Chains A and B, each alone.
Chain A
Amino acid sequence: VPAAPPAPLGCDDPESEAAAEVAVDYINSHSHHGYKFTLNTIDNIRVLPQGPNKEIIFLELDLLETTCHILSPTPLANCTVRSFTDHAVEGDCDVKLQKVKGQLSVLASKCHSHADSSEDIRQLCPDCPLLVTLNDTEVLATVTESLNVYNGKSTGAYLKLLEIGRAKMQYHPAHVVSVEFAVAATNCSAAEANVEACHLLPDDQSDFGFCTATKVIRPSQDLQVNCQLYGHQVPTPDTPLLSRVFWPTSTT
């Protein structure tokens, strides 16, 4: 009598969790912008046997954004999941993996992320700041002013903007802009005047960092900036050094 087909894998089975972990590591290590994502729910798993010791696995994953920028060396396990009231962002990913002699590897992945709806947050927290588009004029002005203020006070390297990670706006009881952005050290010191000549450090010396800033526009005018440099990270072969991604050879 032919052997009964194996029972379908459950989404909380250890094998499914192991595959999901490989998938999430792959997604984060091949992402070049924004923040690290962590597993929230395994929505579905399908396993297609491909002969002895070989299977194709299709995973549908529900991820949540963490507060760690993608450039941060912080291990994912230590990254805080962005809270619901901090305007959480969800990622939906379809991942195709293969398992050969017990070894898992990702063949393809496709993800799209979306922020939680403003209505959901307003219901729970009427005055919470909400995400705004990154090209909002007040956002751009706050980032520019923050980086200038930081560079103006710094005794270290002159920092250049890599990307704005997120921006939130609050209108009541005060008008406040909160921004988060990634930066990179350049070959100039912050004290140097001619910053146009400054450029990113070469890959073997690159030094990335992350800044948060809050600007009160009304009733008072107040700006708080905080930047943290990660220190030089040795690029690993499977994660392209992000400076090449952010600043391709033809710098524009």
Chain B
Amino acid sequence: SVARRAVAGIAQHDKVPRPVGFVPPPPPPCPGKIRHFKI
């Protein structure tokens, strides 16, 4: 029953209303990845 409640908890959390058409912001295009190390 705990597992069920936990799932229910997540289900409840997941019902947080999001604005219509919400699109997570894309990762910033630049600067790009660091291939070695940053001085």
* Residues in A whose Cβ lies below 8 Å from that of B33: 11-12, 41
Give residues of chain A (1-59) contacting chain B, Cβ–Cβ below 8 Å: 8-13, 16, 38-45
Complex Cα distance, B30 from A110, in Å, reads 20
The answer to the question of B35 belonging to the interface, with a C-beta cut-off of 8 Å to chain A, is: yes
B39 touches A116 (CB 8 A): yes
Complex Cα distance, B15 from A226, in Å, reads 70
A11 touches B36 (CB 8 A): no
Chain B residues touching A, majority SS: loop
B32 touches A11 (CB 8 A): yes
The answer to the question of A247 belonging to the interface, with a C-beta cut-off of 8 Å to chain B, is: no
Complex Cα distance, B33 from A210, in Å, reads 33
Complex Cα distance, B34 from A88, in Å, reads 15
* Residues in B whose Cβ lies below 8 Å from that of A90: 39
The answer to the question of A171 belonging to the interface, with a C-beta cut-off of 8 Å to chain B, is: no
Contacts A90-B39, A116-B39, A120-B39; is A9 near B29 (CB within 8 Å)?
Answer: yes
B35 touches A84 (CB 8 A): no
Complex Cα distance, B32 from A188, in Å, reads 51
B36 touches A10 (CB 8 A): no
* Residues in A whose Cβ lies below 8 Å from that of B34: 40-41
A95 CB, min distance to chain B CBs, angstroms:
15
Closest residue of chain B to A39, judged by CB? B35
* Residues in A whose Cβ lies below 8 Å from that of B36: 38, 40, 64, 81
Closest residue of chain A to B35, judged by CB? A40
B30 touches A10 (CB 8 A): yes
Q: Which residues of B contact A (CB under 8 A)?
A: 27, 29-39
12 extra interchain contacts, Cβ-Cβ under 8 A, other than A41-B32, A44-B31, A62-B31?
Answer: A9-B29, A10-B32, A11-B32, A39-B35, A40-B34, A41-B33, A41-B35, A41-B38, A42-B30, A88-B39, A116-B39, A120-B39
Interface pairs (30), CB distance under 8 Å: A8-B29, A10-B27, A10-B29, A10-B30, A11-B33, A12-B33, A13-B29, A16-B32, A39-B35, A40-B34, A40-B35, A40-B37, A40-B38, A41-B32, A41-B33, A41-B34, A41-B38, A42-B30, A42-B31, A42-B32, A43-B32, A44-B30, A44-B31, A45-B30, A62-B31, A64-B37, A81-B36, A84-B37, A116-B39, A120-B39
